Amino acid sequence: MPDGSRQSPASTPSAADVAPAIAEVLHAQRSFFAAGNTLPQRAREEVLRAFLSAVEHHESQIIEALAEDMGRSSTEAYLSEVGYVTGEIRNAIKSLGGWMRPKRMLAPLAAAPSLSMLVPQPLGMTLIVAPWNYPVQLALAPLVGAVAAGNVCVLKPSELAPASSAVVKAIVDMAFDPKWVAAIEGGVETSQALLEHRWDHIFFTGGTEVGRIYAKAGAEHLSRVTLELGGKSPTIVTQSADLDVAAKRIAWGKWFNVGQTCIAPDYILAHRSIRKELVEKIGAAVASFYGEDPQKSEDYGRIINDRHFARIAELIDADKVAFGGKTDASDRYIAPTVLTDVTHDDKVMGQEIFGPVLPVLDYDSMDDVLAHVSKNPNPLALYLFTTDSADETFVLDRISFGGGCINNTLMHFSDHKLPFGGVGSSGLGAYHGQHSFEAFSHKKGVLKTGNFLDPSVKYPPYDDGKRRILRKLVH
């Protein structure tokens, strides 16, 4: 995501103005956690059920808030926000016992008679900072893992989606004792005040530059940090791809939420032999989704604010528009737009687009693909459309990326079994499902030894016989 695009401009209050209220919340949460209130499995399950009930209770308010903030359709809002969060909560309730259970393993022979265990332990005080583009899901989905793992938490929703922020706070207030989870609204001043405190874990979703601020804050207090960032996610379409399927799935993934998705296809690398046909089929898919005038479609949203509208509109080179290109500042509308004959020197290739503009570049060989992708830092996502297993193996082996799909877009995010996260500048750490529980847990390695046998071979004084036995035991 573009640097700072999920962070607000400076607002009137200072960090000092909001600091006392934050300190009071944190003091209460530390005491609540220290008393062991979050440790029992039953307590966690009960609060997760209350969480699920609160989200379901606010379903209509969530959908209305997303329409107000971003012009999101009710279908998109349910699929990507309400339904996703309730799915995460249900999965956590069902799986919590297994996640919490220590994993037992045989200890090495040298430690006999012993049993080794991995014991999950909550980290303690956690901070979740949410973005504006999926302002409900990306606030509440990480919270599922934090609560399931037995932590207390402060959640800061995005002030750039104010209606959604208010609903997120209402959900948290309904579901949780503020000593367990508290939602604190505000702008940059609130973020600054929160980062003055020591956290056991900071979970931030946003742009890379702002992510560095949170990483530095974590380093200052030696806090664990999860960073879910972004980058220019490529979509590779080979000459063996099914172009009808590829066009529809690329168009859906790109223009879902008007391209304001951190894992949206950022640009296409199309084999030269199929590029023209692919662009035509993508245009046909867009028309079938949104009609001849997407501005009139109930399923096509709007850019979050004027600043981002202006930034995205400047990326459109009128001489390279294959279709789309229409903008309306008064409505924050930018049409689904494809650019062709694009090179890495074009402005649109110099930043994460995070909007409804899709540049298309040609390639001739998989080595060209590798060279193109390597011009940018490791992407958060990558999509490959091919029926050639050799091309599939080449991409999976040679290109580093956070996660992705073969012959699809976005859908890896929907699988609770798959970890979601970046690599390098696209992120640090991963979550979703059990991976969320693990992100907010520490796995204690514990070795438990019985008292019924205590071999003297490990104790001094050592002779040649003991040394021979010990050398074999540690192999």
Q: Give the confidence band of 133 by pLDDT, cuts at 50, 70, 90.
A: very high
Residue 325 falls within a domain, yes or no? yes
The CATH number given to whatever domain includes residue 83 is 3.40.605.10
Q: Give the confidence band of 474 by pLDDT, cuts at 50, 70, 90.
A: confident
**Residue 324 CA to its chain's centroid (Å):** 29
262 shares a domain with 225: no
- 310: closest CA among 294, 329, 284? 329
Q: What is the mean pLDDT of residues 230-256?
A: 97
Report the pLDDT value the prediction gives residue 16, as an integer from 0 to 100. Answer: 78
Q: Tell me the C-alpha distance between 368 and 364, whole Å.
A: 6
Residue 456 falls within a domain, yes or no? no
pLDDT digits (tens, 9 = 90+) for 139-171: 999 999 999 999 999 999 999 999 999 999 999
Q: Give the confidence band of 8 by pLDDT, cuts at 50, 70, 90.
A: very low
CB-based contact 111:447 (threshold 8 Å): yes
Q: Give the confidence band of 63 by pLDDT, cuts at 50, 70, 90.
A: very high
249 shares a domain with 196: no
Q: What is the mean pLDDT of residues 93-116?
A: 93
241 shares a domain with 349: yes
CB-based contact 429:226 (threshold 8 Å): yes
Residue 106 falls within a domain, yes or no? yes
223 shares a domain with 261: no
**pTM of the prediction?**
0.93
Q: Using the 8-state DSSP alphabet, how is residue 110 labeled?
A: G
239 shares a domain with 219: no
Residue 471 falls within a domain, yes or no? no
User: Is the pLDDT confidence value at 96 over 70?
Assistant: yes
Q: What is the DSSP string of 356-411?
A: SEEEEEEESSHHHHHHHHTTSSPPSEEEEE-S-HHHHHHHHHH---SEEEES-SSG
User: Is the pLDDT confidence value at 239 over 90?
Assistant: yes
Coil/strand/helix, residue 21? helix
pLDDT digits (tens, 9 = 90+) for 394-424: 999 999 999 999 999 999 999 999 999 999 9
Q: Tell me the C-alpha distance between 204 and 226, whole Å.
A: 6
Residue 369 falls within a domain, yes or no? yes
Q: Which of 262, 352, 405, 438 is catalytic?
A: 262
Could you tell me which residue, 16 or 455, shows the higher pLDDT?
A: 455
Q: Tell me the C-alpha distance between 310 and 299, whole Å.
A: 22
356 shares a domain with 210: no
- 144: closest CA among 105, 108, 175, 101? 175
User: Is the pLDDT confidence value at 455 over 90?
Assistant: no
148 shares a domain with 54: yes
Q: Tell me the C-alpha distance between 123 and 441, whole Å.
A: 6
CB atoms inside a 10 Å sphere around CB 395? 23
411 shares a domain with 277: yes
164 shares a domain with 51: yes
Which residues, listed in sequence order, are joined to residue 271 by a DSSP beta bridge?
Answer: 363
Q: Is 262 a catalytic residue?
A: yes
Residue 460 falls within a domain, yes or no? no
Q: Which of 415, 449, 467 is the last residue of a domain?
A: 415
193 shares a domain with 48: yes
309 shares a domain with 160: no
Domain interval for residue 398? 234-415
Report the pLDDT value the prediction gives residue 111, as an integer from 0 to 100. Answer: 86
Q: Tell me the C-alpha distance between 206 and 289, whole Å.
A: 29
Report the pLDDT value the prediction gives residue 4, as an integer from 0 to 100. Answer: 40
Q: Tell me the C-alpha distance between 133 and 416, whole Å.
A: 20
User: Is the pLDDT confidence value at 11 over 70?
Assistant: no
Q: Which of 229, 253, 286 is the last residue of a domain?
A: 229
Report the pLDDT value the prediction gives residue 12, as an integer from 0 to 100. Answer: 55
Residue 342 falls within a domain, yes or no? yes
pLDDT digits (tens, 9 = 90+) for 198-226: 999 999 999 999 999 999 999 999 999 99
255 shares a domain with 188: no
Q: Which of 372, 397, 415 is the last residue of a domain?
A: 415
Burial, 217: exposed, middle or buried (Cβ in 10 Å; 0-12, 13-18, 19+)? buried
The CATH number given to whatever domain includes residue 364 is 3.40.309.10
Residue 445 falls within a domain, yes or no? no
Q: Which of 76, 159, 228, 438 is catalytic?
A: 228
CB-based contact 77:66 (threshold 8 Å): yes
Report the pLDDT value the prediction gives residue 6, as an integer from 0 to 100. Answer: 40
Report the pLDDT value the prediction gives residue 288, as an integer from 0 to 100. Answer: 98
pLDDT digits (tens, 9 = 90+) for 169-204: 999 999 999 999 999 999 999 999 999 999 999 999
Q: What is the DSSP string of 169-232?
A: HHHHHHHS-TTTEEE---SHHHHHHHHTS--SEEEEES-HHHHHHHHHHHHHHT-EEEEE----
Phi, psi torsion values for 57, nearest 5 degrees: -65, -35
Q: How many domains does the chain have?
A: 2
